[in-house]
Amino acid sequence: MKTPDFSEWVQRFFREYLSRQRNVSPATVAAYRDTFRLLLQYWRQKRRQALATLSMESLTPDTVLSFLNHLEESRGNTIRTRNARLAALRSFVHYLTDWLGPELPVATRRILTLPFKRHVKPLIGYLTRSEIDALLAATEDTWTGRRDHLLLVLLYNTGARISELLALRVQDVLGPQAKLVELQGKGRKRRTLPLWRQTQRLLRRWIRDNRLTPSMPLLPNRYGEPLTRFGAFRQIKKLVQRASPKQPTLSRRPISPHLFRHASAMRMLEAGITPEVIALWLGHESFNTTHQYVEASLAMKQQALEKIAPPKTKAQRFRPDDKLLRFLESL
């Protein structure tokens, strides 16, 4: 029986392992797919070798490190993106190890020992309430403007990832009063979140005025298809340009939908909501992800410092007794 070559193993990895056995989300499949596309392009363009020559023996730690350095240095990828590409390749090697065992070349198995690159995480940026109000005020009283207004309100109310909101169907808005929304997050995990009354009114009006049926996208483009990430970023960029004259801080840094998520988390933290509850609200798999908001909240650190202010007493100088002095001198 013929042993599958590198190309066949990659196809099996996607068709059988990722899609059927692990049932990963389409976003994960797309991220892994992009990793292998970039690897093949690197092999052909930078190594100047035909794709047919890429074999299991070619997949070594040196090849992977060279590929990762290329992504970071030539393509300008961040360390976080570099680590995500390495995670995809390590997952592939894990799959090969399970199937091939000792038949897998030792050099290929050593890819599992490659460490993720450390990097300094910057403090989280988030939108202030005045910046959010300025962006909402910049939306126009048109069909597109009302949709964008609803998008911003949902981003801030739910703290959802932009991909979670753009995937919403009308049927994901629960109850006749639109009091709840059900989101599907990473790993296909679903969570249900309550909505402010203002958000509920906006949703009911939007659904009614546009005669949206349960299976239709909640936030469509002009053609009735779900609004894309590119479309959402483009609309927010336009709103930033309109709002910046009245709120200059908006023009001093890139504004993305994710800043609304950060703003939502920071407001909850400052209101005294525990990080554990915030993690459930945001759909974080790891509490460590939520902890970064605690680190970013300088205002809360100042409040904490004030609560543990030293008492108004003079510090007493420590004077060791003779017994302690003799002990120290004997050392």
Provide the CATH number for the domain around residue 136: 1.10.443.10
79 and 193 housed in the same domain: no
Query: What is the reported pLDDT for 1?
Result: 41
Mean pLDDT over residues 283-303, rounded? Answer: 61
Q: Last residue of some domain: 63, 79, 113?
A: 113
103 and 147 housed in the same domain: no
200 and 282 housed in the same domain: yes
Query: What is the reported pLDDT for 290?
Result: 63
230 and 104 housed in the same domain: no
Query: What is the reported pLDDT for 227?
Result: 95
291 and 205 housed in the same domain: yes
> Would residue 118 count as lying in a domain?
no
Residue span of the structural domain in which 75 resides: 6-113
Query: What is the reported pLDDT for 297?
Result: 56
> Would residue 123 count as lying in a domain?
no
Highest mean pLDDT among 66-80, 119-133, 138-152, 254-268: 138-152
> Would residue 197 count as lying in a domain?
yes
38 and 77 housed in the same domain: yes
> Would residue 254 count as lying in a domain?
yes
Cα-based angle 25, 60, 70 (whole degrees, multiple of 5):
70
> Would residue 311 count as lying in a domain?
no
Q: How confident is the model at residue 300 (pLDDT cuts 50, 70, 90)?
A: low
Q: Looking at beta carbons, which pairs linking 40-45 to residues 24 or more positions away fall under 8 Å?
A: 42/67, 42/70
149 and 259 housed in the same domain: yes
89 and 220 housed in the same domain: no
Q: Catalogue the active-site residues.
A: 161, 186, 258, 261, 284, 293
Q: Last residue of some domain: 86, 113, 140?
A: 113
93 and 142 housed in the same domain: no
192 and 298 housed in the same domain: yes
pTM greater than 0.75 (yes/no):
no
> Would residue 124 count as lying in a domain?
no
User: Locate tokens 């005669």: which residue?
Assistant: 211
The domain total for the chain is 2
> Would residue 74 count as lying in a domain?
yes
44 and 160 housed in the same domain: no
Q: What b/e readout covers 54-84, taking b as 16+ CB neighbours within 10 angstroms?
A: bebeebbeebbeebbebbbeeeebeeebbbb
**In the structure encoding, which two tokens stand for residue 99, read together?**
């199937």
243 and 145 housed in the same domain: yes
From the list 38, 54, 24, 45, the residue with the least C-alpha distance to 86 is 38
Q: Looking at beta carbons, which pairs linking 192-201 to residues 24 or more positions away fall under 8 Å?
A: 193/157, 193/158, 193/160, 193/281, 195/157, 195/158, 196/157, 198/153, 199/153, 199/154, 199/157
> Would residue 212 count as lying in a domain?
yes
Instruction: Report pLDDT digits (tens) over 231-281.
Output: 999 999 999 999 999 999 999 889 999 999 999 988 888 888 888 888 888
